[in-house]
Amino acid sequence: MDEPRTPFRLPLIAILRGVMPVEVAEHCEVLVEEGFDAIEIPTNSPDWTRSVAIAASGFGDRARIGAGTVLEAAHVDALLAAGGTLVVTPNVRPAVIRRAVGLGLQVVAGFATTSEAFDALEAGAPMLKLFPAAVYGPAMVRALRSVLPPVPLFAVGGITPETLPVYLAAGCQGVGIGGELYRPGQSAEHTRTQARRFREAWMEHTA
């Protein structure tokens, strides 16, 4: 079976949950400098469409900027209007997936069960996200890989630099990183430090 390939140079999706528009540029800047090219701003962040617009305007030529916690078609339309190109969902909503795929956006669809994973694929999702991964663990990833087609699989939820290699070894092509990377109010330099830790863990595993 061919190894699934992601559209990202570094398949670590940075999740800036709670980021403010006034600070989003500085955090995106350090992430891009550290090699990240997939950045997600969840829809439950303050004025998220403004943050997406700022990030896409400043960094859209170097990274895919998108929204996470995308729950409805209106979120997809708002993301597109803001210049975003990446849609990340926490669950399987076929209408949302179809809408995003139909608009030419990259989609990472969240799921928690094998049935949901196949429902997401049937709706057209090109990439999958096991969420919350820390609840299910790498054993779930290995089991999924025995039945899933060769599509990129991300682990999201509770991933640390120490557990990242374990999920990759189990069959994930990448991960999404939230609280271990960014928490509201932290400095951009702290974001840089954490981003570097994850990038180094990735590089050590893939060397």
**Of 116, 129, 162, 204, catalytic:** 129
Position 3 scores a pLDDT of 78
Which residues lie closer than 8 Å to 107 by C-beta, 6 or more apart? 87, 88, 89, 97, 100, 101, 124, 125, 126, 127
Rounded to 5 degrees, what are φ and ψ at 15? -110, 115
> pTM score, two decimals?
0.97
Show pLDDT as tens, one digit a residue, over the chain (207 residues): 567 999 999 999 999 999 999 999 999 999 999 999 999 999 999 999 999 999 999 999 999 999 999 999 999 999 999 999 999 999 999 999 999 999 999 999 999 999 999 999 999 999 999 999 999 999 999 999 999 999 999 999 999 999 999 999 999 999 999 999 999 999 999 999 999 999 999 999 998
Tokens 């509201």 found at = 184
What one-letter code names the amino acid at 114?
Answer: T
The active-site residue, picked from 3, 23, 40, 72, is 40
- pLDDT, residue 207, reads 84
Catalytic residue check, 129: yes
Q: Are the beta carbons of 88 and 176 closer than 8 angstroms?
A: yes
* Domains contained in the chain, CATH given: 15-206 (3.20.20.70)
pLDDT at 21: 98
pLDDT at 115: 98
Phi, psi of 69 (to 5 degrees): 50, 45
Q: Are the C-beta atoms of 18 and 45 separated by less than 8 Å? A: yes
Q: Is 200 a catalytic residue?
A: no
